Structure formats: structure tokens, C-alpha cells
Structure 1
């Protein structure tokens, strides 16, 4: 088996488990906060929001730092650091004695992340050009699927094995990811730039600044779209359902439908990006995703919503690998880890921003307006991508074809 393929398999598992570990706390957090001694409903909501959001905010800050370390020391050491650290910290959450310890551990979890950045950089730099789209497309399914399926997995473990055991089991899975990374990931790392560059110096060496910013924004908007429904999905399912039973299960299925579609479609759309150009896939996927959010506001039952969420997941699957492919193509290898780190920061901010957007729009306007506003964001991003990415790269592609 080629080295890049073996690394891809191990990194996929590790990124999936990391995604689960970051998001599995969402459905059980209010219950665990109550178990830790917080009884007032308002306080439960307040502490739950802080504990969930702080991980992604801190991750956005530290992701470029770990990306820089990956460029300096190698990607495998960063994989080992992040997987072992996450295993220990998530496992310790099961021993938390009060809500402040839990919040502190969630903050620490955000600080030691970086597994996804190192994985993406490793696969991007060590996979040949012919298989880059397929590899990055496959890899992109892991983090998104783990993040979207995480709430369902966390709820299932908590319901069947207990709240504390959900942390222990997730920590054990991350320890397995650490061991498999240690034994099976191989890296031929050569440090290309021995000088430590500042952020300003790094930015000066990025050849396609406008294109890079557009890709960061596109990744941010995508994650906002993925997570804007998280705060309102349970309430929306309750309104759509004719009976009160299995609301949590239906909400979990509706939210996870996008993740399932992503697993199915991302490798295929990654191959398509290799064949016709990633810029074409990004543009088409943004338009389709924006359009698919509109009918979600008019569904009559949970199953219609699940179908539309699944279709949205198919379009989202064309965005992440295509963004990563273009970043790989326009970024020098010596800076790949740092640039992917900044891109991952945009994604973490998108998770937090999406959750805040969904909750605030639903509170100030209505649940259905969440879908309209998210649709508008995606379609506006599509217009920007058309002028900043699609036209530019399409002209370059045509010019090369004429030579």
C-alpha cells in the first residue's frame, strides 16, 4: 500500500474521533452541568454555552500556532501531541467535580487541538498531484462527519452508558488514534525554511493573497452554514413533529444527515475537482447549497427536513476538499502548515459563529429566518467566489489549454 494511502486511513480515523470529541458534548452538556450541581435553568444554559463555545474560540487562536509548529518540527509529532493530549483531557472531563473544572478542561482541550491541521498538512504535502483531490476529499469527510455525527454519538453513549462514561469512551477512542498514529503514520519531513517567520512575514510570502483570503472566508461561511441550525434544530423538530416522542433522536438524525452525505460525496467530488478544476466545484456547490437552505424553511415534517439536510451535505462535500486543494496548489510547502492552520481557525470561528447566528436570529426573528439568512450568506459568497476565484482560475485554465 502506498505511504500516502496508509497515512490517509490513519489520519481519517484520528480526525473523525477528534471531531467527535470536539462536538459530542453538545447534547449532554446541559445534563452534565446539572449533574455537577447547577440547578437554576438560566445558569445551566449560561454555563453550557460557555463550556461549548470556549473550545472553538481557543482552537481558532491556537490552530495557526500548531500549524507553525508542524512546519518547524514535522506533522507526525503534532499528531501525537494532539491525540494524546485530547485523550487525557477529554477523559478527565468525566472526573470533573464542578462546572468550573469542566470549563477549564474544555479551554485546555481547545488549546491542545491541532490534529486536523497536522493531518491536512501531512496529506497535502505528501500526496502526489494526481491523487491530491481524492485524498483531501476523503480526509475532509472525517472532521465534518465527526463534528456532525458527534452530538448523536455523544447522546447515544450517554443514554446507554451514562454521562461520565461518554467522556471515558471518547477519551479511549482518542488514545487508540494516538497509538495507531504512532505505529502506522510515516513521514518524510524536510524542513524547508529554518528561519522563524512572523505572521506579517508569512503573509508577505503568500503568493496569492486575495485568493487565499477568499478561500478562508468561503471555509468560514461553510462552517457557519453547517452549524447555524444546531441551536434551533431540536425546537424546529418539535414544531414539525406531530408527536412528542423521540424528539432528541429525530433532531440528531436531522443534524447528522449532512455528515452522512458528506462521507458519501466528498471523495467523489474531490476526484471531480482534480478533473475539471476545484474552482468550478466550489462555485457550483455554493449556489446549490444556498438554494437548498430555502425549502428547509417550508418543510412540513421532520423527514422532509432530513432529506434536504442530506442534499445540503452532498453540496457541502464539494466545498471543503476543493478549498483544501486550492490552498495546497497556491501555497509553498514550507508554509502549508501555517496556512492550513489559519484556514482551520476560520472553520472553528465558523462553528462558533454559526451557533451564535442561529440562536440569535431565532430569538430575534424566527426559526425559519435562520434558513433564509444562511442561504443569503452562501449565495453572496458564491458571487464573491465567482469574481475572485472562478473567473481568474478559469481564464488561467483556458490560457494553459491554448498553449
Structure 2
């Protein structure tokens, strides 16, 4: 079996190793989500501000710094190597997560989370490396596989993290997370290779400034429109995160297992996305990723509007599965469109900007969701997400070029 692995084409070998690394790293990062606010409460505040304030800062700080740093790391990857950026994200994340387990106050934890946003970014770095080395005719399937790893990690991580926190404590769980990231980094270092022809060969491109690289990426056909659609999609997908546990609590007020059911809600959606992502990625390779993206946005839009009529927990979980399946069509399609529209040699820059767009949406979305829930109702927060998804579908129809995904075979795929 080991010989069979080594006999694989280099792009396939990289893909499978990066799939495993992404699965482990996302599961590791997701381990801490269920108890992070509880950890803040346990640490306490050393200066000023409430526990609630610092609980919010712990999440927002990471998104804010990632939004600033991700485009820079992406452009650097195109110059010195994308594999090195994956290793930087994994090893840096391992060190920071281990230090979080040693934090003495909410302020120290927030600082470490801010540094995490600046240093990590595994998904963007891994996607850039996959996009640069994978044949374009296989981009949808390959990036769908990477997204499958991310959703699988998101589904497993919170459930495992809650159990670990209750069993061995918060601090030990951080060390377990650091260990998973370290294992992923070692695997990438040993078994992932980056061909020189995936790096910039033109010295003029290497000397180009970061600003010129960003301008070049944004000037590519349909790229600005695609980033606009991606921002809308991530905004919609993140709007309901802070209110979902509250809706679970409202639907089952007499139960003492709200956290468990909230975890099931998240896991059900992520699992549905996991199983649908690869199928939709392959479908996009055949019929066009723009078409699959529009279909996913429309399905998600109407799916989230149905939350207005939710009256039981089983309806909530059923709709989580439906919208999760639709999400499995959206993210791989956007990833493939980014890969196919990237200027030659600048995949790192393109995915770095993409990570910044994701982080920006995470900063604003919770504020929108909680404001709508407070002013109208919890279900209305989900309905707002549905409206945003439908807006994203309209933007994709109106602004994305129909030929954004070339259905062609290139030099990489000649041996397929």
C-alpha cells in the first residue's frame, strides 16, 4: 500500500496528504469552540470589561487579524513556496494552541487568538497548493475533497472537544489540539512535494510588489464579482452561529442537554456538507461551477427561509441537513472558480484574499444575527441568512461570467 501511494501522480499524492492534514487541523481547531467562552469565564478578567465582552473579543480578534494577514501570506506563498506556508500555519498554530492552554487571563487568551489569526490560515494555504498543482479539469473534485475534509473536521471537532473538556479539562484539550496540528505539520513536511513549475518562473513576477500582485489578482475576469459573492455567502452562513444555540434552548426549555443538541445541530449540517461537497464538485467539473454555485445559493436561500416556521427541534435538525447539503454545492464551486480564474503563479495571492474575505464576514455576521434576533425573533435571524443567500445567487447570475470555468484539459492532466 505504501508503494502504491508513492506510485501516485504527484498532484494526487499531495491532494491526499493535504486532505488528511486539513481534516486533522480543522478538527483540532474546532475542538475548542464548544468551551471557549467557558474557558474565558474560568480564566477571569485581569483588567477591565465583562466576561461577555472578552468572550466576544476572543472570537473577533482572530477574524480581524486573519483578515489583515491572509492576503500578505498568500502573496508571500507565490514567491517562496506554498508548501512552506502550509507548514507555517500548522506549526505556528500548534505552538499558539499549546500556549493558550497556559493562559492566565482572558486578556492573554485574546492576545494569543489575535496572533493565531496572524499566523495560521491552514485552509487558504492548503487550497492554494492544491489549486497550483491540480489539473484544472480536476479542480472542482480536488477542492471539493479539501472542503469535505474541512466540514468533516468541523463535524467531529466540537463533539469531541466537548467530551474532552468535560473529561480531562480545558487546558489539556488545548494540548491535544496542539498535538493534532503538530502531527499534520510533520506529515506535510515529510510527504507533500511542490514542483518548481508551480512557483513563479518569471523573475519579473517574483519582483512584483504585494500591491501589484493583489491588483493583478483582482483584475482577473470575474474575480471581484466572485469575491463579492463569497463575502455574501460567508456572511449568510455565519449570521446564525451565535443564535443557533439560543433557538435550540427556546425550543427545548425544560431540557438540560441544550449544549449537546446544539452540537448535534452543527454536526448534522457539517456532515451533510461533507457528503455532498465531492459530488457537487464533480458535477461542477462537468456542467460548470457557476451553475452549481447559483443552484446551491438558491437552495440555501429557501432552506433558511423555512426556519421561520420551525416549532420543534427535529424540524431544526432536518433543515440543518437540507441547508448543509446546499452548502456543499457552494464552497467547492467558489473554490474551483477561484482556481480556474487565478492568474498564472498567483494562486497563493488569490486564496489569501479569499481568506481575508472569509474573515471579514466573520467579523460582521454575528453582529447582524444577534441584532435581528433581539429586534424581531431568533427565527428571523435565520431568515435574514436566507435572504442574503438569495442575494448572492442574484449577484452570481448578474455578474459572474458564464465562461469563468474553462472545461478543458491542460498539461497537468495529459496523463490522466
Q: Matches of 2:340 and 2:369 in 1, distance apart? A: 34
The change in CA–CA distance for 1:219 and 1:114 in structure 2 (over 3 A counts) is: same
Q: 2:251 matched to 1:240? A: yes
Task: Output one character per residue of 1:141-198: Cα deviation in whole Å (capped at 9) or x when no partner.
Answer: 2234434654333222212221111101111100110111111111103323433333
Does the Cα contact within 8 Å between 1:214 and 1:385 map onto a contact in 2? yes
Q: Matches of 1:217 and 1:148 in 2, distance apart? A: 27
Does the Cα contact within 8 Å between 1:56 and 1:352 map onto a contact in 2? yes
Q: Higher mean Cα deviation, 288-297 or 13-22?
A: 13-22
Q: 2:34 matched to 1:27? A: yes
Task: Output one character per residue of 1:245-282: Cα deviation in whole Å (capped at 9) or x when no partner.
Answer: 21101001112222111110111111000000001101
Aligned to 1:319, what secondary structure does the other structure show? Answer: helix
Within 5 Å, which residues of 2 pair with 1:114-153? 114-147=121-154, 149-153=156-160
Q: Matches of 1:36 and 1:5 in 2, distance apart? A: 45
Which residue of the partner structure matches residue 167 of structure 2?
160
Q: Matches of 2:150 and 2:405 in 1, distance apart? A: 33
Q: 2:100 matched to 1:108? A: no
Task: Output one character per residue of 1:40-79: Cα deviation in whole Å (capped at 9) or x when no partner.
Answer: 9x81111110011111111111111111111011111111
Q: Matches of 1:196 and 1:301 in 2, distance apart? A: 59
- Tell me how many residue pairs correspond in the alignment: 396
Q: Shift in Å at residue 224 of structure 1? A: 1.9
Which residue of the partner structure matches residue 414 of structure 2?
none
Q: Matches of 2:80 and 2:373 in 1, distance apart? A: 45
Aligned to 1:28, what secondary structure does the other structure show? Answer: helix
Match of 2:292 among 281, 287, 294: 281
Q: Matches of 1:198 and 1:357 in 2, distance apart? A: 36
The change in CA–CA distance for 1:28 and 1:98 in structure 2 (over 3 A counts) is: same
Q: Shift in Å at residue 232 of structure 1? A: 1.0
Q: Matches of 2:374 and 2:85 in 1, distance apart? A: 40
Task: Output one character per residue of 1:202-227: Cα deviation in whole Å (capped at 9) or x when no partner.
Answer: 35434854611121122222222222
Q: 2:305 matched to 1:298? A: no
Aligned to 1:27, what secondary structure does the other structure show? Answer: helix
Q: Shift in Å at residue 294 of structure 1? A: 1.0
Which residue of the partner structure matches residue 280 of structure 2?
269
Runs of 4 or more off by more than 6 Å in structure 1? 394-397
The change in CA–CA distance for 1:13 and 1:272 in structure 2 (over 3 A counts) is: same
Which residue of the partner structure matches residue 6 of structure 1?
13
Aligned to 1:230, what secondary structure does the other structure show? Answer: coil
Which residue of the partner structure matches residue 192 of structure 1?
201
Q: Shift in Å at residue 31 of structure 1? A: 1.6
Q: Shift in Å at residue 320 of structure 1? A: 1.1
Does the Cα contact within 8 Å between 2:306 and 2:383 map onto a contact in 1? no
Q: Shift in Å at residue 396 of structure 1? A: 9.2
Aligned to 2:102, what secondary structure does the other structure show? Answer: coil
Q: Higher mean Cα deviation, 282-291 or 193-202?
A: 193-202
The change in CA–CA distance for 1:148 and 1:348 in structure 2 (over 3 A counts) is: farther
Q: Please, what is the CA RMSD of the aligned residues?
A: 2.3
Does the Cα contact within 8 Å between 2:217 and 2:349 map onto a contact in 1? no
